[in-house]
Chains A and B, each alone.
Chain A
Amino acid sequence: MTSSTTTAAAPASSPAPRRRGASPALRRQHRAAYLLVLPFMVVFAAMLVVPLGYAAYLSLYREQLIGGVSFVGVQNYVDALSDPAFLSGLVRVLLFLVVQVPIMLGVALVIALLLDSGVLYAQRFIRLAVFLPYAVPGVVATLMWGYLYGPDFGPFAQVASALSLPKPPFLSSWMLGSIMNIVTWSFAGYNMIIMFAALRGIPTELYEAARMDGASELRIAWSVKIPAIRSAILLTLIFSVIGSFQLFNEPQLLRTLAPSVIDTAYTPNLYAYNLAFTNQNVNYSAAVAFLLALVIAVLSYVVQLSAQRKERRS
């Protein structure tokens, strides 16, 4: 949520250069521009800035069922930083990020390159088929996989028991991997489309030049195509980082099937939700949510920065 804030706000607030010398016609245009942007700014302020400010305000208080509201300063943040439930959730999504994101983006990139190279038959069909899971709402996808994972009546379990093999523990010891699989299934196609669109934008002269130099298709993919779509890959990476930390739907729904595997603090987002709506501890929940946002902002920034450095070096 933080990244969309900054990217959306930046163009709107950047001042038009050299306004003083502007002709009356140009000034009218500027006025019109501000007028056109105004509705967005109003909605943006009302729906994002104000609620965020309110949440920040809430996070500085503590409300007890007995004793009412009191100002506690940063105490909620201090508590959260030593709260094992919050920290273990954070570590869990970090692990998720480190394992799942490379797999998902790798799959997306390979399919995008294959499609772009034209070696596949039925390209349009494959493109659609890979993208299709993204069109399935996350909740439905989780329900579907939840059924497939089922320990008694799920097809995997049925096949395993027909072969007298042990049933795969999708909903117990493999839970994190099972969630990774759902997320990969849902979002690989989406990332693939972004990368594929970027690949389509590369000028074909580059390939011709590379072929003249005797480069193989593989070499072209590695040395021409991937560097050329670096910014698109970076975009998918940042989306994925944010997505990982915001993991909520999948664990929330699978919790119904495996309540003793996924506890109320399985991911930080789930924890914030349960704090607010089960424990009625809105203040602490706001602090946890803000810390989470901070972690996401820092990590996204680090990813962006390191990528830019690489760009400059190359």
Chain B
Amino acid sequence: MFEIPSTPLSRRAALAGLFGVSALGLAACAGSGTGGGNGASATPVSSDDFAKAMSTKTELTFWTWVPDIQNEVDLFQKQYPNITVKVVNAGQGLDQYTALRTALKAGKGAPDVVQIEYQYISSFLIGKNLLDLSGMNGFGDLKSQYPEWVWNQVSRDAAVYAVPQDTGPMGMLYRDDLLKAAGVQAPTTWDEFATAAQTYRTANPKSYLTDLPPNQAGQMIGFMWANGAKPFAYDGDKTVTIDLTGTEAKQVVEFWQGLVQKDLVAVDPDFTDQWYQGLSAGTYASWLTAAWGPVFLQGTAKNTSGNWRAAQLPQFTAGGKATGNWGGSTDAVIATTANPVAAAELARWINVEKEPAMELATKQFLFPPLNSVLQDSAFVGQTPEFYGGQKVNEVFVEASKNVNTDFEWLPFMDTVYSSYTDIMGPAITGRGDMVTALSSWESKLKDFAKSQGFTVK
């Protein structure tokens, strides 16, 4: 992958992988599509069947790119000594999906349990590749343990296709010192944000209030999500809905076009060396990011420790609270598994049981989807020095409560992201007409969907 080695490479590379922000410009971060009524379904499992499955000698293969997940897997194996789990890193994000698709096509070599980002669940439902986990032991009361929007990301009607592992509700990180020096208050609405961008730029002609990366569809889609837009939908069968020019989505793009055309925000691609240095050097005084952003930034801009603060995402309506999600992933069970019960239990146990779930949140810094962890003071009460002792997790826990609940994905998100960079990218970089580009992007996606045999609404 394309990571220019400098500061804390291992952590950064690890985190980049974790959030699917693969540096090849794959804007992999974003939420997911709820599945179709299409995955293979599982018969309800009785407690006897469950006990038998968990006490039989079994080997499971688990594809995941979460660093050090072996810790949680070890806890699982301690709980169930007869189950051996082979952890395989088959690549991050798209690399892994390519390997998985190949294995599924070949009919062998597919894992039992696999890490999938929310927005790619749909693309594996087309081939009926994911097991419906709703009848499995322990899945009956799972819904109540998650925020509604998270559960909607992994389920469709009564079917459940994956167990949430981490999420990325969106908020804002900003340089308190730089904003104060420029006489700017942290904006709470987009109107204030635009005024702040102007004031900040006048005070600091060499830097910007923030950066709008021309390659980051995940962020833009997150803004649309926050504004209540529903640009995508998939019925799980043959019909997709693509509506990028609806009122809410368009409002977001028009807003950014205004800032971009007046040269009030930077337009540098993100997750590049230039951008890392920009964050360290104060070229961008804020970063509109997701819940995984705080830890990521801590590793990237060490020299600015103590100066950063977190706040909620600005709003179009004063007093509003809504936000979107950008990033995060799940663990799903592949339909071809020979050991569905044990595989489902692995996916559930390491993400839901208290000990592994807390470790994922506090040692591996995955932002938790689970209500119990979101309320746990060991997680919420952390006061990192990097953020001047602010309870940053609290800010994002609040954001997690306010993520718009219904958001769906298309079953071909890789194409959505790459065509964003191809079509919206030049309009952003060239400080040109982003709204027209938005229409081109929409028609490009509609054409692609039709060429793939979908009915487009």
Contacts and interface: CB of A to CB of B under 8 A. Distances in A.
B50 to A, nearest CB: 36
Contacts of A138: none
B238 A66 contact: yes
B264 to A, nearest CB: 18
A279 interface: yes
Given A172-B429, A257-B269, A264-B419, 8 more contacts: A65-B411, A65-B452, A66-B238, A66-B452, A143-B2, A152-B277, A277-B98, A280-B414
Contacts of B126: 65-66
A98 B412 CA distance: 38
Nearest to B22: A256
A144 B452 CA distance: 40
B453 A147 contact: no
A65 B272 contact: no
11 contacts: A66-B454, A152-B277, A153-B273, A257-B272, A259-B25, A259-B269, A263-B422, A263-B426, A265-B422, A278-B94, A280-B414
Contact of A277 (B94, B271, B274, B426): B94
Question: How many B residues touch the partner, as a band?
Answer: 35 or more
Contacts of A172: 429
Contacts of B306: none
Contacts of A278: 94, 414-415, 418
Interface of A: 64-67, 143, 146-147, 150-153, 172, 252-253, 255-261, 263-265, 274, 277-280
A263 B126 CA distance: 28
Given A66-B453, A153-B274, A263-B422, A258 B269 contact: yes
B407 to A, nearest CB: 21
A286 B440 CA distance: 27
Contacts of B415: 278-279
Dominant SS at the A interface? loop
B129 to A, nearest CB: 13
B103 interface: no
B4 interface: yes
Interface in B251-296: 269, 271-274, 277-278, 283
Interface of B: 2, 4, 23-25, 94, 98, 101, 126, 214-215, 238, 269, 271-274, 277-278, 283, 411-412, 414-415, 418-419, 421-422, 425-426, 428-430, 448, 451-454
A253 B2 contact: yes
A260 B426 contact: yes
**What are the 3 A-B residue pairs with the smallest beta carbon separation, nearest first?**
A260-B425, A66-B453, A67-B453
B214 A260 contact: yes
B214 A259 contact: yes
Nearest to B448: A279
B214 A152 contact: no
Nearest to A161: B206
B454 A259 contact: no
A260 B2 contact: no
B283 A64 contact: no
Contacts of A277: 94, 98
Contacts of A261: 426, 429
A284 to B, nearest CB: 9
B418 A64 contact: no
Given A65-B411, A65-B412, A278-B414, A150 B274 contact: yes
Residue from the set A260, A264, A265 with the largest chain B CB neighbour count within 10 Å:
A260
Identify which of B238, B277, B411, B453 gathers the most chain A CB atoms within 10 Å of its CB.
B453
A264 B4 CA distance: 21
A147 B4 contact: yes
B429 A260 contact: yes
Most buried by B among A65, A256, A259, A277: A259
Contact of A153 (B98, B214, B277, B428): B277
Contacts of B98: 277
Given A66-B454, A277-B98, A280-B101, A259 B421 contact: yes
Contact of A264 (B418, B429, B448): B418
B16 to A, nearest CB: 12
A22 B448 CA distance: 64
